[in-house]
């Protein structure tokens, strides 16, 4: 059973973005599963790299919609995205330096940030994009 399941409350009603959010939840569940394994650290590096690459792709998608439809608060979104990537890169640097990180801390940080971001910051996108007919 996954640690986190998709719920409709996370939807921003843009199919492409919702699909990407679901993929991020899947990666989070992979991180959670690492904590259940006997030798989780050997897989952390790959998952962190995959996460960073996918998050950058996802943020690029979101920002692309914002640029295309002239979302007025795009700079706030970009700052939030940059802070998140910076923090994940800190986890990656820690892992590369010590070949070990506390997986629970990584999972908790990502989930707390991601849930907050979707439910507050990304939800601000919903009425704007609905008004523009995006879906």
C-beta separation of 107 from 35 below 8 A: yes
pLDDT tens per residue, range 8-41: 999 998 999 999 999 999 999 999 988 887 667 7
> DSSP letters of 67-127?
HHTT-TTHHHHHHHHHHHHHHHHHHHHHHHHHS---HHHHHHHHHHHHHHIIIIIGGGHHH
Residue 42 has pLDDT above 80, yes or no: no
Within a 13 Å sphere around the CA of 9, how many CA atoms are in the beta-carbon half?
6
Pick the CATH number of 14-132 from 1.20.120.50, 3.20.130.10, 3.40.50.10310, 1.10.150.120: 1.20.120.50
Structure confidence at residue 1 (pLDDT) = 78
Q: pLDDT band at 124, cuts 50/70/90? A: confident
Instruction: Quote the percentage of the chain above a pLDDT of 70.
Output: 99
- Give the 3-state secondary structure of 22-65: HHHHHHHHHHHHHHHCCCCHHHHHHHHHHHHHHHHHHHHHHHHH
Q: How many CB atoms lie within 10 A of CB 23?
A: 13
Residue 126 has pLDDT above 90, yes or no: no
Q: pLDDT band at 66, cuts 50/70/90? A: very high
Q: How many CB atoms lie within 10 A of CB 73?
A: 12
The pTM for the full model equals 0.90
C-beta separation of 58 from 28 below 8 A: no
Structure confidence at residue 39 (pLDDT) = 66
Torsion angle of alpha carbons 69, 72, 66, 121, nearest 10°? -140
Rounded to 10°, the helix 74-98/103-116 angle is: 180
The chain-wide mean pLDDT, for the chain, equals 91
């Amino acid at each position: 059973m996954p640690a986190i399941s998709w719920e409709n409350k996370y939807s921003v009603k843009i199919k492409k973005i919702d699909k990407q959010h679901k993929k991020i939840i899947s990666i989070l569940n992979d991180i959670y599963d690492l904590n259940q394994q006997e030798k989780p650290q050997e897989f952390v590096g790959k998952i962190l790299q995959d996460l960073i690459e996918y998050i950058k792709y996802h943020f690029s998608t979101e920002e692309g919609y914002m640029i295309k439809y002239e979302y007025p608060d795009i700079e706030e979104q970009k700052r939030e995205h940059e802070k998140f990537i910076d923090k994940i890169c800190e986890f990656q640097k820690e892992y590369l330096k010590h070949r070990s990180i506390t997986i629970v801390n990584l999972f908790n940080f990502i989930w707390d940030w991601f849930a907050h971001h979707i439910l507050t910051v990304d939800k601000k996108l919903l009425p704007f994009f609905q008004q523009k007919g995006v879906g």
